[in-house]
């Protein structure tokens, strides 16, 4: 039971001394969720109450199933806008169908994550490299900013892409509603100031409450400031959305993108908090937890959910100890929906826009770009490419571009890995790269060569070319070639064929012995089955480089 419900296992060992801090953190997270759930639901193109439907059950489910004691699950702007982009293209302008498809999308995301967890695919959290994540997240932040131009300024914006939205704003700048703009800008300023000066304070709730009070005091709705409007009462009734098999098939690629991005974000956020707090995050269990939280949201007429970095950091900073925070936050949302619903109707749309804009500003990763520029200009360009993919096309295309860039970069690095000629360096008690240590000694007639990647079809020909090039550049006549296989953790059939051809080629070039040193058991087994090892083949095997060199020296006398 503990393996399937790790959160429950933690709660069963609950200590009364944790209650005060956990309860306070839960109330704070609940207070953050009220405006954020409404704002992110509207960002997804849904009525504001759907944000509450999505989060109530998700918080309870994650508290039982998740391995993080602090992760703030629920609506998240990147997931919301990605879902809106995908479902909008399928719904065809039908509002009722749009709501049904959103709930169905959450269920498809759930299915993908649950199947992935059963198949132990938790390692996919590392598919998106840092530069691609920086670029993608920044592109999402810029898209969020542009998506709120209409609500933030009151100007009529009809397009749904980043650059056309900016162009339309400039064209319609005379139509900006000054009162709406002032209210939104004031709320945003308050959010940013509180976020920096008092991060433990639920800034979004404070800002929205004050904006609502100002709107009511000065009757701003009568002066053209839009408000949320009436919110239906009651809690969601669990049920399946009315969609067809064809609808589910069309939702599948959108759901796959949401699952990948949401899971990567969840694991990275959870690990960053858990690292200094004495517990571990289990990747496959987190994939299952994401699936079950989306299952809860889909059955509750919600939409896809992920996690929020701010709702994760705040309870951690307050010293919370367990997932009781999520249970308290869920109860807070339920009480608010049942008891304070009439007050929610008076919230200005401009205030919710300010909440989204503040989240967008937070996730635009300027420091990440600065770090990449310092460390690797190549990766900086990759990040720019991912950002452009999001803002020029759309978020779903941006996800595909981000994943493709990650795979291409990984394949390139494996196809053209680092390699080295090794020399003996007694001061370091071992064989080292002679390029990094020119004083390392090489021996006439002997070449020790290391290739730092698994050897398979992508790089096998490059490996052969590099070996021949190293031998051609090495002065003197080579009698022995020792291949250091420590970095070659695996071989495929193509690599075995290339090795067989290489051994024959080296024999023609006059190399007397080709030896393999420091190979693992799996590699040796494959070499043996391919009849490449002595006595069936020509390759000699040594457990260490020193062992191969001693054999060479003994043969030389």
Residue 36 token pair: 């954020």
Residue 425 token pair: 């360096």
Give pLDDT, residue 2.
52
Q: Tell whether the model's pLDDT for residue 314 goes beyond 90.
A: no
Q: Tell whether the model's pLDDT for residue 54 goes beyond 90.
A: yes
User: In angstroms, what CA-CA distances link 210 with 187, 207, 521?
Assistant: 8, 5, 67
Compute φ and ψ for 527, nearest 5 degrees: -65, -40
Is the CB of residue 332 less than 8 Å from the CB of residue 31? yes
CA atoms within 13 A on the CB side of 70: 29
Q: Tell whether the model's pLDDT for residue 328 goes beyond 90.
A: yes
Burial letters 14-35, b for 16+ CB under 10 A, else e: eeeeeeebbebbbbbbbbbbbb
User: 49-65 vs 19-43: helix axis angle to the nearest 10?
Assistant: 140
Give the 3-state secondary structure of residue 502: helix
pLDDT above 70 covers a percentage of the chain that reads 98
What Rg value do the Cα atoms of the chain yield, rounded? 29
Residue 308 token pair: 């929020």
Confidence of residue 310 (pLDDT cuts 50, 70, 90): confident
pLDDT, average across residues 347-366: 91
Give pLDDT, residue 497.
95
Is the CB of residue 328 less than 8 Å from the CB of residue 88? no
Closest by Cα among 449, 532, 450 to 488: 450
Q: What is the pTM of this model?
A: 0.78
Torsion of CA 210, 213, 214, 219, to 10 degrees: 160
First to last CA, the chain: 66
d(CA 393, CA 33): 30
Residue 545 token pair: 């480089």
Q: Tell whether the model's pLDDT for residue 38 goes beyond 60.
A: yes
Give pLDDT, residue 396.
74
Residue boundaries of the structural domains of the chain: 6-12+21-158+166-233+243-411, 419-556
Give pLDDT, residue 557.
65
Q: What CATH number has the domain spanning 419-556?
A: 3.30.750.24
pLDDT, average across residues 371-394: 88
d(CA 522, CA 528): 10
Instruction: Identify the residue with better confidence: 52 or 396.
Output: 52
Mean pLDDT score across all residues of the chain? 90
pLDDT, average across residues 455-476: 89
Is the CB of residue 541 less than 8 Å from the CB of residue 519? yes
Is the CB of residue 299 less than 8 Å from the CB of residue 238? yes
d(CA 557, CA 554): 5
For residue 227, the tally of other CB atoms under 10 A from its CB is 19
Torsion of CA 533, 539, 540, 543, to 10 degrees: -80
pLDDT above 90 covers a percentage of the chain that reads 60
Confidence of residue 476 (pLDDT cuts 50, 70, 90): low
Residues 113-159: tens digit of each pLDDT: 999 999 998 887 666 678 888 888 898 889 889 989 999 999 988 88
Instruction: Identify the residue with better confidence: 348 or 397.
Output: 348
Q: Give the position of tokens 């052969």.
A: 464
User: 349-363 vs 77-91: helix axis angle to the nearest 10?
Assistant: 110
pLDDT, average across residues 55-79: 94
Confidence of residue 66 (pLDDT cuts 50, 70, 90): very high
């Amino acid at each position: 039971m503990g393996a399937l419900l790790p959160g429950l296992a933690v709660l069963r060992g609950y200590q009364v001394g944790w209650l005060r801090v956990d309860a306070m953190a839960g109330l704070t997270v609940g207070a953050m969720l009220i405006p954020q759930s409404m704002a992110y639901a509207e960002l997804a193109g849904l009525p504001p109450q759907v944000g509450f439907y999505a989060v109530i059950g998700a918080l309870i489910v994650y508290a039982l199933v998740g391995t993080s004691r602090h992760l703030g699950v629920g609506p998240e702007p990147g997931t919301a806008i990605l879902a809106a982009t995908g479902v909008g293209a399928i719904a065809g302008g039908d509002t009722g169908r749009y709501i049904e498809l959103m709930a169905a999308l959450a269920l498809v995301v759930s299915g993908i994550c649950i199947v992935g967890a059963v198949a132990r695919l938790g390692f996919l959290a590392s598919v998106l490299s840092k530069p691609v994540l920086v670029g993608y997240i920044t592109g999402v932040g810029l898209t969020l900013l542009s998506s709120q131009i209409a609500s933030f300024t009151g100007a009529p914006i009809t397009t749904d892409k980043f650059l056309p939205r900016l162009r339309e704003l400039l064209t319609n700048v005379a139509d900006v509603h000054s009162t709406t703009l002032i209210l939104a800008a004031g709320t945003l300023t308050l959010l940013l100031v509180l976020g920096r000066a008092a991060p433990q304070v639920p800034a979004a709730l404070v800002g929205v409450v004050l904006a609502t009070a100002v709107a009511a005091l000065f009757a701003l709705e009568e002066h053209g400031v839009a408000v949320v409007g009436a919110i239906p009462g009651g809690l969601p009734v669990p049920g399946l959305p009315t969609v067809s098999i064809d609808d589910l098939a069309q939702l599948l690629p959108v759901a796959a993108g949401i699952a990948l991005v949401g899971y990567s974000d969840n694991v990275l956020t959870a690990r960053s908090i858990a690292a200094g707090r004495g517990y571990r995050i289990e990747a496959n269990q987190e994939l299952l937890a994401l699936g079950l939280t989306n299952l809860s949201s889909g059955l509750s007429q919600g939409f896809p959910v992920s996690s929020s970095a701010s709702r994760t950091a705040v309870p951690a900073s307050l010293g919370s100890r367990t997932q009781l925070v999520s249970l308290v936050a869920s109860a807070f949302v339920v009480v608010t929906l049942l008891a304070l619903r009439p007050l929610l109707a008076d919230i200005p749309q401009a205030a919710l826009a300010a909440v989204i804009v503040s989240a967008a500003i937070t996730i635009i990763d300027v420091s990440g770009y600065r770090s990449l520029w310092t460390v690797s200009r190549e990766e900086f360009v990759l990040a720019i490419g991912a950002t452009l993919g999001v803002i020029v096309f759309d978020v779903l295309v941006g996800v595909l571009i981000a994943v493709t860039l990650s795979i291409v970069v990984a394949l390139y690095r494996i196809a053209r890995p680092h390699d080295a000629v090794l020399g003996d360096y007694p001061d370091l008690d071992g064989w080292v790269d002679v390029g990094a240590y020119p004083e390392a000694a090489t021996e006439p007639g002997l070449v020790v060569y290391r290739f730092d990647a698994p050897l398979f079809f992508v790089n096998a020909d490059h490996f052969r070319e590099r070996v021949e090039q190293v031998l051609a550049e090495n002065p003197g006549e080579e009698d022995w070639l020792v291949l250091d296989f420590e970095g070659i953790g695996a071989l495929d059939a193509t690599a075995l064929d290339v090795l067989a051809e290489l051994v024959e080629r080296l024999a023609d070039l006059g190399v007397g012995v080709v030896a393999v040193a420091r190979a693992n058991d799996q590699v040796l087994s494959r070499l043996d089955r391919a009849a490449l090892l002595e006595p069936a083949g020509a390759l000699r095997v040594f457990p260490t480089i020193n062992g191969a060199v001693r054999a060479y020296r003994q043969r030389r006398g």
